[in-house]
Amino acid sequence: MSELKTALHDSAWWFVLSEGKLVALDKGELIPFGCIEELPFPDHVTDNKRLLGTYNSYSCYLVEVDNHLDMGLGEYVSLRSLLGKVQDLLFEMAGRAFQVALFYKTHRFCGQCGNPMQEIDWEVAMKCYHCQHRAYPRVSPCIIVAIRKQKKILLALHNRHQKNNYPVYTTLAGFTEAGETLEACVEREVFEEVGLKVKNIQYVTSQPWPFPHSLMMGFTADYASGEIKIQPDELIEANWYDIDDLPLVPKHGTIARKLIEKTIKRCR
């Protein structure tokens, strides 16, 4: 991570977090923006602000408060509710705010010797001055893959979507294991979840997924061999769908949707 720099402008974006939610305005840009002197925030509430980075040349700050403190504007909303509503880069910064806050909350003590950790002021890191152990925000790599078979795409209904009245069919995904390449992870996850072998594994794009700290790395692949045999702990069903007759798929703004659309183009 390069050194964090403050933007030249006085105005800034404010990511105010409390009890797993953040302050958003129901009109305008949604995320509070402006000079600290001009905003109605209670006195001293921003004294503990932390620089997250910049967006459109303006600094972005994380401010943590207790018990959904009234900030004088907007209301507290979940991070998920911002997905697809604010610009992608602003959503990513909101996700970064949650991940940074979680990092400081879970790294107050050294994992190696148990002594209290200190914040490092020039990067997002915690250091133990007793044993010199240093820790950075955790990022968990995760693959997500859209699989093509002639003019069909493999979509699955996941257990976690079961209770939804409008079941969403999506691509396969899973966490990378220690010491594993992303390509090997794609092969393993596909085989574990649906019992198929795939080929022509191609990287497409990535998306930070801050629930709580995944980094989704998206691939396309082609069917090679095997019959669908689902892993029942993870999936309810998985089927080949004709690209002209798809079930309900994930919404715009998600990497799954991008991979499905890319695969439809590959089929045509």
Residue 212 labeled ligand binder: yes
User: Does residue 225 have a known ligand-binding role?
Assistant: no
Residue range at the interface with Zn ion (CB under 5 A); choices 125-133, 135-143, 195-203, 214-222: 125-133
Q: Which of 113, 120, 139, 246 binds Zn ion (CB under 5 A)?
A: 113
Q: Which stretch binds Zn ion (CB under 5 A): 60-68, 122-130, 234-242, 248-256?
A: 122-130
Q: Please identify, using beta-carbon distances, which residue of 40 and 114 lies nearer to Zn ion.
A: 114
SS3 labels along the chain: CCCCCCCCCCCEEEEEEECCEEEECCCCCCCCEECCCCCCCCCCCCCCCEEEEEECCEEEEEEECCCCCCCCCCEEECCHHHCCCCCHHHHHHHHHHHHHHHHHHHCCECCCCCCECEECCCCCCEECCCCCCEECCCCEEEEEEEEEECCEEEEEEEHHHCCCCCCCEECEEEECCCCCCHHHHHHHHHHHHHCCEEEEEEEEEEEEECCCCEEEEEEEEEEEECCCCCCCCCEEEEEEEECCCCCCCCCCCCHHHHHHHHHHHHHC
Confirm or deny that 142 is annotated as ligand binding: no
Q: Minimum distance from CB of 105 to Zn ion (Å)?
A: 18
By CB under 5 A, the count of residues binding Zn ion is 8
| 42 is known to lie in a ligand binding site | no
60, 97, 100, 110: which one binds Zn ion (CB under 5 A):
110
Residue 110 C-beta: closest distance to Zn ion, Å: 3
Q: How far is the CB of 107 from Zn ion (least distance, A)?
A: 11
Q: Which of 21, 68, 130, 257 binds Zn ion (CB under 5 A)?
A: 130
Residue 260 near Zn ion by CB under 5 A:
no
| Longest Cα separation, the chain | 64
Strand 58-64 vs strand 50-55: parallel, antiparallel, or unpaired? antiparallel
Q: Which is nearer to Zn ion, 89 or 113 (CB)?
A: 113
Q: Summarize as ranges the residues that interact with Zn ion (CB under 5 A).
A: 110, 112-113, 115, 128, 130-131, 133
**Binding-site annotation, residues:** 80, 110, 113, 123, 128, 131, 136, 173, 189, 193, 207-214, 234, 256
Where is the binding site for Zn(2+), in residues?
A: 110, 113, 128, 131
- Which residues define the annotated binding site for substrate? 80, 123, 136, 207-214, 256
